[in-house]
Amino acid sequence: MLSRRNFLTAAVGVAAAGGLAACAKEDEGSSGSDSSSGGGKKITLGFAQVGSESGWRTANTKSVKEAAKEAGYNLKFSDAQQKQENQISAIRSYIAQKVNVIAFSPVVVTGWDAVLKEAKTAKIPVILTDRSIETSDDSLYVSFIGSDFIDEGRRAAKMLEKVLEKAGHKGAVKIAQLEGTTGAAPAIERAKGFKEIMDAEHKDDWKVVVSQTGDFTRAGGKQVMAAFLQSNPDINVLYAHNDDMALGAIQSIEAAGKKPGKDILIVSVDGVKDGFVAMSEGKINGIVECNPLLGPQLMDLVKKVNDGETVERRIKTKEGDFLQEQAKEALPTRKY
Ligand code: AHR
């Protein structure tokens, strides 16, 4: 637990060796007034988004923008197009603009210490949303709000057990894995959680025969799955780290004359509407939910941090698991 006051006190001790880096990228999509400091004025929040790679991300961006508006904050928003250098530039620009709080969803886990030290020196608290980072200095951010990706990987493996049983599958389970963006927390941790269950409980019968990144995009999933089917035509399971890659892969499976959800059983992560549509059509067998609607919780957290309140260091989101029989019923009420 780290309050803003503690964070600011700690920040004083950091040498401002590099000073503030020059602003590398103009914000896009800023809203509200130009008010840039606290003290009774509107809170200004700088939010550096990963990109717009998936349906999940679109829903997450919408949730953040709507919740900031609802809370009456001045939101400065940038889309890094899945490039770490763009995100770093956006954070530097928020530091230069003296925003009250910075929140960001890191593209990858490593390489953040320098820019976060700059934020700390400028006494601007940082909140991680959705994805975590690797750092030896825990004082560089005050809180991390988002899903437990390792657990999502475990849940995907447990879901596959049910899917195989339901399909009456006998014999070897030859798994193709479509990984998320290389170096990103959800890609690393969803693979890790899945492997943990596989190694502990299915060492003899399950095997990941091929695994490659599809960068969390539909186009990536389609292209990589087409190559998988060429090199390993006997794949009978696909584990996709998100729905969009599964949806792209379905196109390649059908183009290869196979039936998704039958010839190749599919488990994916997210739970976006298009994923649920595919599941209600029998093309995806199970989805592990990852909730993108983090906006309202994030805005509460921003207020607390800005007011100097002590906040929880880690806030996990609550999520569910869905099999085909729940898809049709759940579809009309899906919020993203
Ligand atoms: O970080 C969350 C992941 O990022 C989502 O599962 C994926 O769809 C997105 O691109």
Q: Fold for domain 149-290?
A: Rossmann fold (3.40.50)
For domain 10-147+292-317, say whether CATH 3.40.50.720 is its number: no
Sign of CA dihedral 50, 52, 54, 59: positive
pLDDT band at 40 (very low <50, low <70, confident <90, very high): low
- Using a 6 Å cutoff on CB, does residue 242 contact ligand 1? yes
Ligand 1 atom closest to Cα of residue 244: 8
The pLDDT tens digits for 298-311 are: 999 999 999 999 99
- Using a 6 Å cutoff on CB, does residue 92 contact ligand 1? no
- Using a 6 Å cutoff on CB, does residue 53 contact ligand 1? yes
| 8 A C-beta contact, residue 292 and residue 60 | yes
Residue 227 CA to ligand 1 center (angstroms) comes to 23
Is residue 16 predicted with pLDDT exceeding 50?
A: no
Q: Which residue is associated with the tokens 């493996």?
A: 157
Task: Report CA 288 to chain centroid distance, whole Å.
Answer: 13
Ligand 1 pocket, mutate which of 49, 50, 54 (most atoms under 8 A from CB): 54
pTM given for the model: 0.90
- Using a 6 Å cutoff on CB, does residue 155 contact ligand 1? no
Please report, for the chain, the start and end positions of each structural domain, with discontinuous segments joined by +: 10-147+292-317, 149-290
Strand 101-104 with 286-289, pairing:
unpaired
pLDDT score for 23: 30
- Tell me if domain 10-147+292-317 and domain 149-290 are identical in fold: yes
- Using a 6 Å cutoff on CB, does residue 216 contact ligand 1? yes
